[in-house]
A and B are shown apart, each in its own frame.
Chain A
Amino acid sequence: MSNYILELKDVVKTFGGVTALNNVQFQLKRGEVHALMGENGAGKSTFIKVITGVHQPDSGIMLLEGESITLHSTSDSAKLGIAAIYQHVTAFPDLSVTENIFMGQEIMTPFHTYNWTAMTKRAKALIAPLSQDIDVTKPMNTLSVAQQQLVEIAKALSRDARIIIMDEPTASLTKTECEELYQIVERLRDDGVSIIFITHKFEDMYRLATRVTVFRDSQYIGTWDVDKISNSKLIAEMVGRELDQMYPHKTSKIGDVVLEVNKLSKEGYFKDISFKVRKGEILALTGLVGAGRTEVCQTLFGIMTADSGSILLEGNELTIKSPIDALKNGIGLLPEDRQLQGLVCELPIYQNVSAPVLKNFLKKGLLDQEAEIANAIELCSKIQVKAKDIVAPPSSLSGGNQQKVVFSKLLSCDLKVLILDEPTKGIDVGAKYSIYEIMNELASNGYAIIVVSSEMPEVLGTADRIVVMKSGRVTGEFAIADATQEKILEASLMKHSDTEQGA
């Protein structure tokens, strides 16, 4: 009999031409908590989807208790006792907690109808040990994220799961909620459940896991006992490069304050956000997923409107009610999802570049395409977009070059403040460097830049100043000289009561 409850050998998964998992190995012991770590895009999410049968691997084998298994769908993996709790809770928001737990495995009466009484009773029994505050008859969308995760755990337990995979479950939890989750995970482990715990937080790993496996760039890097690997070695394995060489030397001169945000609040999203950005400065807005960074940026750009607080541009108060207002005042946003929000992938590159300033190319009421093309070529060559043909659609380009097209689009407007939301997300390592170079050059040219990033090395490598958010509040602000990974992490995990005491 095998030592391992679950074992994966040489698993390969490709999507089109992109390799998402390349010869991945994994071994899970019975009753252990096994941490799985790696940067965004390292292949962790694909890995879970292979284990749960959402995706079928191209090659490689999967062994459950020493026996080879093939999964065709999630119902196959559920039957074998494998359950996943996904990063973005995958609930049915309009259906009740009870129904969310039992969807796909309903309790029926002899007449083949739903046995609501039995299901409600069983749901209460499953939820009770996890939380006292969840009403199982309420719709899922009335619960907090932490509560929704507990429901997902209850769902996994209701299926007698032997292996539970948790995908960054602590990403948007408060410290107390995390501690409650840790205790539940420990209890599950003691009951003999094997747990794969995917996380970005070292705290989670040290607290729970006995072993840790690292993925990087779709590859298996290694597995270590948690107490036998140093923190710095682990980071080096995850990042796979020396941090200092990754970032261009800063050349910009920092000038006067351009944008000032005062006590900006939006109910349910963020509260009392204040910071300043200067000319030529790169301000990093960091924190964990769900901290409210994107929402703050969207408010500055007029996609959302704040309930209270003020935004000052060069000392004058602005009312920004729409992206048009923001652009008029010289504030531009590079959205997080370049394909969905940044580009029109069906239109030629040059039309994408000129889209925000079409009226500049009007000649007697008609578009002057040649001027449009000339302008696009000028902007694109300025930031070295590698495109064969300016009339080809952006979908013909690599991720890094697509992002550069979005940059050119922003440059075609007359802007003072650039907000970059995760500008290097899903871009390979080489291309990241050129994005950093562009950011650096833009700062030197006098733009004030706000960059939202979850990647700690990127924040430390590119920013002049760092603002950390947690649960909709600013929990720390550091000049780059004083900032360390530990300080930022500490601030991004801080409870809001701590900040109130501090303030």
Chain B
Amino acid sequence: MSKQNKSSILYPFTSYKQFGLLICLGILLAAAALLTPSMFTLDSIISMLRNNAVYALLASGMMLVILTGGIDLSVASTLALTGVVTSVLMNKNPSIPAIFWVILAVVVGSLCGFINGFLVGKLKMIPLIATLGTMYVYRGLAFLMSGGNWLFPHQFTEGYVAFADKRILGVHSIIWFTVIVFILGGIFLGYTRPGRRIYAIGTNQDSAVISGIKPANIKMLAYSIAGALAGLAGMLYTANFSICYYGMGEGFEMQAIAICILGGVSITGGKGRIDGVVIGTLIMSIISYFISLLPGLSVWQDAIQGAIIIIAVGINIYVLKTGEKNILKERGKLI
């Protein structure tokens, strides 16, 4: 324990949990490189990242919510709703500069998230129930906004699509968005007052109240950010695939939760780091990419991903138990 390095000031415990994940990632990469050397090129890696950027955005927001001890099932519906809102309006007003749609997406998303936060924080609803409700509401609104119609590639403006598709330094801008969100997320969680308070209410809400923290406000903030990121993801999703329909992104909330769990975020709150989410996203993307490349495996995709989550969580429990045992052993010396 005394050999902790500097970077672990915030979280000496999770740092070695993350180490296990890194090994897992390394093994996957090595296996991918060995089994499919021809497909394992820079271009294919970039395209893999591009296809998974949306999950990363959702997972980052989901992580904040899980850290408070909650869950947000409505993120995928928020993605659909904002995607529909921005695409439909863009199609009707093609002359408006595309940056406007990015801002609108974030605003609409935050609003959806704020409603979740209000229900959970102020009205003290159980997160699972509150966001299950809004999950249907937001999806329903997306249907109403779109009138049930699809938008196809020719209906998207160039400027709009560029926000996901334009390459900067050879990398698509949707990936850059993700990188920026990860960096800002790391700063927010590690170095800002509201960020640290998310951990505080997640690890011991009663103490947080005694320390003068208002859990309701922190929760509203966390859900709003999760909503904002889902909104951004919605706009970028439609731009990335140049397609829009009210049913898009169904089930993505589960992907986001899975990435968090895989990344070592404790589902009971208070524990987890953004780098875990980064690694979790990478592992998930590699697995799905890998499976799609190997012939005959693709039918196994869901089953394999599920199995990996269970294995990862199993390892997690084992690590936690050893940690607890060590603490008990320390205490045992005092007896």
A242 to B12, CA, bound (A): 55
A52 to B210, CA, bound (A): 9
Counting chain A CB atoms within 10 Å of each CB, the highest count among B4, B8, B10 belongs to B10
Bound together, the chains give a CA A40 to CA B230 distance in angstroms of 51
With a cutoff of 8 Å between Cβ atoms, the chain B residues found around residue A104 in the complex are 211-213
B327, A141: Cβ atoms under 8 Å? yes
Contact with B along A107-129 (1 / 0, CB 8 A): 01000111010001000000000
Interface residues on A, range: 35 or more
Q: Please give the distance in Å from A230's CB to the nearest CB on chain B.
A: 36
Interface presence of B154 (CB below 8 A): no
Residue of A whose beta carbon sits closest to that of B331: A268
A95 contacts the other chain (CB 8 A): yes
Q: CA A473 – CA B332 in complex, angstroms?
A: 11
Chain B 77-109 interface mask (CB, 8 Å, partner A; 1/0):
000000000000000000000000000000000
User: A92–B213 Cα gap in the complex (Å)?
Assistant: 13
Contacts A93-B204, A267-B329, A268-B329 hold; do A139 and B13 have CB atoms under 8 A apart? yes
Does A403 have its Cβ within 8 Å of any Cβ on chain B? no
Q: Would A174 and B329 count as touching, CB distance under 8 A?
A: no
Tell me the bound Cα distance from A108 to B191 in angstroms.
Answer: 9
A104 to chain B, nearest CB (A): 4
- B191 in contact with A113 (CB, 8 Å): yes
Task: Write out, one digit per residue, whether chain A residues 80-95 have a CB within 8 A of any chain B CB (1) or not (0).
Answer: 0000001000111111
Q: Shortest beta-carbon distance, B144 to chain A, in Å?
A: 40
CB atoms of A74 and B191 under 8 A apart: no
- Residues of B close to A108: CB separation below 8 A: 193
User: Is the CB–CB distance between A90 and B193 below 8 Å?
Assistant: no
In the complex, chain B residues whose CB is within 8 Å of the CB of A94: 13, 199, 203, 270-271
Q: How many residues of B contact A (CB 8 A)?
A: 39
Also in contact, A268 and B9, with CB within 8 A (given A90-B206, A92-B207, A472-B335):
no
B13 to chain A, nearest CB (A): 6
Q: Which of B309-335 contact A (CB under 8 A)?
A: 325, 327-332, 334-335
A142 in contact with B327 given A92-B203, A94-B271, A108-B193 (CB within 8 Å) = yes
| Given A94-B199, A108-B193, A113-B187: A120 touches B204 (CB 8 Å cut-off) | no
Contact present for B211 and A95 (CB under 8 Å): no
Determine if B332 and A114 form an interchain contact, defined as CB atoms under 8 angstroms apart. Answer: no
Least Cβ–Cβ distance between B163 and chain A, in angstroms: 28
Q: CB-CB < 8 A to B196: which residues of A? A: 99, 103, 106, 114
Q: Kindly report which residue of chain A lies nearest to residue B193, judged by CB atoms.
A: A106
Residues on B with C-beta less than 8 A from A112 are: 192-193
Of B11, B212, B330, B334, which one neighbours A73 at CB under 8 angstroms? B212
Interface of chain B, helix or strand or loop or mixed? Answer: helix
* Min C-beta distance of B196 to chain A, whole Å: 6
Residues of B within 8 A of A52 (CB): 210
- Indicate if the CB atoms of B210 and A90 lie closer than 8 Å: yes
How far does the alpha carbon of A98 sit from the alpha carbon of B190 in the complex, in Å?
Answer: 13
B191 touches A144 (CB 8 A): no
The reply to whether A496 and B335 form a contact with Cβ atoms under 8 Å apart is yes
Does B193 lie within 8 Å of A93, measured CB to CB?
no
Interface centre among B213, B330, B335, by most A CB within 10 Å?
B335
Residue contact A116 to B9, C-beta cutoff 8 Å: yes
> Counting CB contacts under 8 A, is B200 at the interface?
yes
A301 within 8 A of B: no
A68 within 8 A of B: no
A95 to B202, CA, bound (A): 10
Q: Are A144 and B334 in contact (CB under 8 A)?
A: yes
Among B199, B206, B210, B332, contact of A267 (Cβ-Cβ < 8 Å) = B332
A471 to B334, Cβ gap below 8 A?
A: yes
- Contact between A54 and B4, CB atoms less than 8 A apart: no
User: Which one of A103, A268, A271, A471 contacts B328 once the chains associate, using CB atoms below 8 Å?
Assistant: A268
- A309 → B minimal CB distance (Å): 14
Those of B187-246 within 8 Å (CB) of chain A: 187, 190-193, 196-197, 199-200, 203-204, 206-213
User: Which residues of A, 155-209, contact B by the 8 Å Cβ criterion?
Assistant: 174
* A407 adjacent to chain B (CB < 8 Å): no
The reply on A151 being an interface residue by CB < 8 A is: no
Q: Closest approach, in angstroms, between the C-beta of A378 and any C-beta of chain B? A: 40
A-facing residues in B161-201 (Cβ within 8 Å):
187, 190-193, 196-197, 199-200
Q: Does A487 sit at the interface, judged by CB under 8 A? A: no
- B201's nearest neighbour on chain A, judged by CB, is A92
* Chain B hits for A91, CB < 8 A: 204, 207
Residues in A with CB closer than 8 Å to B334 are 144, 174, 471
Residue among A75, A116, A137, A174 making CB contact with B212, cutoff 8 Å: A75
Asked if B199 and A92 sit within 8 Å, CB to CB, the answer is yes
Residues of A contacting B34 in the complex (Cβ-Cβ under 8 angstroms): none
Chain B residues lying within 8 Å of A95, measured Cβ to Cβ, are 199-200, 203
0/1 string, B10-25, CB within 8 A of A gives 1: 1111000000000000
Contact of B200 among A103, A141, A270 (CB under 8 A): A103
Give chain B nearest CB distance to A269 CB in angstroms. 8
A158 nearest CB across to chain B (Å): 12
Taking CB as reference atom, which chain A residue is nearest B195? Answer: A114
Which residues of chain B are near A113, meaning CB under 8 Å?
A: 187, 191-192
Q: Does A138 contact B (CB under 8 A)?
A: yes
* CB nearest to B197 among chain A residues: A103
B187, B191, B200, B325: the one within 8 Å of A92 (CB): B200
**Residue B42 is within 8 A (CB to CB) of chain A in the complex:** no
* A267, B328: Cβ atoms closer than 8 Å: yes
Q: A93-B204, A108-B193, A142-B327 are in contact. Are A54 and B199 (CB under 8 A)?
A: no
Q: Which B residues are CB-close (under 8 A) to A114?
A: 190-193, 196
In the complex, the 9 A-B pairs of residues with the closest C-beta atoms, listed nearest first:
A268-B328, A75-B212, A113-B191, A104-B211, A472-B335, A90-B207, A114-B191, A94-B203, A268-B331
Q: List 18 A-B contacts (CB under 8 A).
A: A52-B210, A90-B207, A91-B207, A92-B270, A94-B271, A95-B200, A96-B10, A103-B200, A103-B211, A104-B211, A104-B212, A108-B193, A112-B192, A114-B191, A114-B196, A120-B9, A139-B11, A267-B329
Q: Beyond A74-B210, A96-B10, A267-B328: 10 further Cβ-contacts under 8 Å? A: A74-B209, A90-B204, A92-B204, A103-B196, A106-B196, A113-B187, A135-B2, A137-B12, A267-B332, A473-B335
